[in-house]
Structure 1
């Protein structure tokens, strides 16, 4: 399975590699930790990069109390671009990634061997933290309106990338409403480009707002967001319990001046059962360090919603023993 390393991290690794030639002891103490994210235009990609920065503390770095990194000593975390939730669950279970971001639906279904994972239970995955809500976007060309989801019948519709949790959910929704559309497997960047070029009529994507790719689309061609009716939101929740009612407020995207009722699923950070307990404990501790709070708040709009108080909200798989140790210390687990 091929992954793409976040560019600035790759450059950083190169620098550290050179330093390692000069100071071999640094290189010997270094540990790389791969975090699966998503496509470059989505939210997993930048959030994964922020988390990687927060938990990293390369050999030779300044001490935390002297203005340096407050991450795990010797750790270099790498944010890796992937096809998101399903791909990350599969890769972590197989030991091809050390950790990753994934939607609660993919995480829970993967661990239990349900949905897309029937006959392929991912019993090696464990929880580090619940992160933030991921809103479902149904994106339409500027000036386009739908009376209901059923108006998608016969249209060219992007259903997200293969290996993404969004695609699993979207196909469940289309099947529930018996919508026969021309479905195209596209990542977020491909979806926005094809919508702008008039090659598709709509596309779905779920993630933490705002999407960089949609900000760009809004500043060039413009777009509309479909407002899910109350009945549709309740029906989607009934068929996909992980999706709950949510709202994309007006102004989240500069060109969207109206509130957008929708549904959302939680994004979560998971790892493998075989990751060392002490390492995951230190990583979890670094994730919730007060200096990480500053990184999250400044780094991405969704970062402000990543808070310790909801770290275990909606968690339906076992917590990694290392993370559990930390949450017991802070009183989240009795």
Structure 2
């Protein structure tokens, strides 16, 4: 009996340990100088058990190359989730656009739409660049391969009658691009992300910048051709000495795989929209106030994960 009792206790102990084993949930974000990374860190903290989120969950924000890389990692299983621009997620799911000929990523699912991502075209004050068309012959960074920014930069150039061959193209992350702009080694660079972004704010303060507008009939045609684009405006004073600037935007979305369990995703979404999370998002980043449950299902373009869909239906966000 004593031996049996000991064995029983060991089995019970092992069972409790197994039940309490942490679940790891990584969130692929972007470069550390962008908006994805700090927002991902806030969300990871609020959904983790230590932040009052899902019991037993350990969520972490992982720096990455951005939308395309995150979707590939989610599809391959090296990340449980990631942030993506709405356009890139749509192309991946449908096997069109950037993913033409690469097959559909049919397991891609949405957790939530987060906030608008503004297309910034940042130029030096003395570059003489007043419109996208003025980029011809200039030294321009389009962001690195694998980023959603590169995809959108190509679309914007094309709308104004330019290709990568018409500019002196470089392919840098926003941080290094900003450094080269400050040093006079670059005339302009594209960045897609929520405003204000810290790296551009610092650049505006230290060196002075121009935000180049993306507007006119060329922008109207882009809005007609690509439904994931929306009109956007960077308010005056968002960046030091930069006036109100017309541009366009896409949505930042949080995506995962259909292979993730319904219960896990349901509980993650529930934690994301808790009162505690609301407080952290509002106080933690300028874009946090725009991350709302009312906008969570807008402009998705791909199927919601069943766990997320269940929550949004219960909340009345989805009918």
TM-score if structure 1 supplies the norm length? 0.86
Could you say which residue in structure 2 is the equivalent of 1:150? 133
**Counterpart-to-counterpart distance in 2, 1:203 and 1:146:** 11
SS in 1 for 2:287: helix
Structure 2 runs not aligned, ≥5 long: 1-15
Residues of 2 paired with 1:252 and 1:176: CA distance?
Answer: 26
Alpha-carbon shift at residue 147 of structure 1 (Å): 4.0
1:194 correspondence with 2:180: yes
Task: Quote the offset at 1:200 in angstroms.
Answer: 1.1
What is the 5 A alignment of 1:19-34? 25=17, 29-34=21-26
Question: Partner of 1:40 in structure 2?
Answer: 32
Pairing 1:84–2:66 present: yes
What's 2:88 paired with? 106
| Structure 2 counterpart of 1:293, from 275, 278, 281 | 278
* 8 Å contact from structure 2 (residues 84, 254) kept in 1: yes
> Could you tell me how far 1:251 is from its partner in structure 2?
1.4
* Corresponding residue pairs, total: 300
Structure 1's unaligned 5+ residue stretches are: 1-23, 59-68
Q: Judge conservation of contact 1:157–1:202 (CA < 8 Å) in 2.
A: yes
Q: For 1:236 and 1:248, how far apart are their aligned partners in 2?
A: 18
Poorly superposed stretches of 4+, deviation over 3 Å: 24-28
Other-structure match for 1:181: 167
Distance 1:148 1:238 in 2: 20
Of 294, 306, 319, which residue of structure 2 is paired with 1:321? 306
In the alignment, the residues of structure 2 paired with residue 134 and residue 239 of structure 1 have an alpha-carbon distance, to the nearest angstrom, of 18
**Aligned position for 1:269:** 254
Write the distance in 2 (CA, Å) between the matches of 1:190 and 1:87: 19
Match of 2:113 in 1: 130
**Separation in 2, partners of 1:159, 1:296:** 30
Aligned to 2:79: 97
TM-score by length of 2: 0.90
Query: CA RMSD for the aligned pairs?
Result: 1.6
Q: CA deviation at 1:156?
A: 1.1
Alignment of 1:151-230 (within 5 A): 151-179=134-162, 180-230=166-216
d(CA) in 2 for partners of 1:248, 1:177:
21
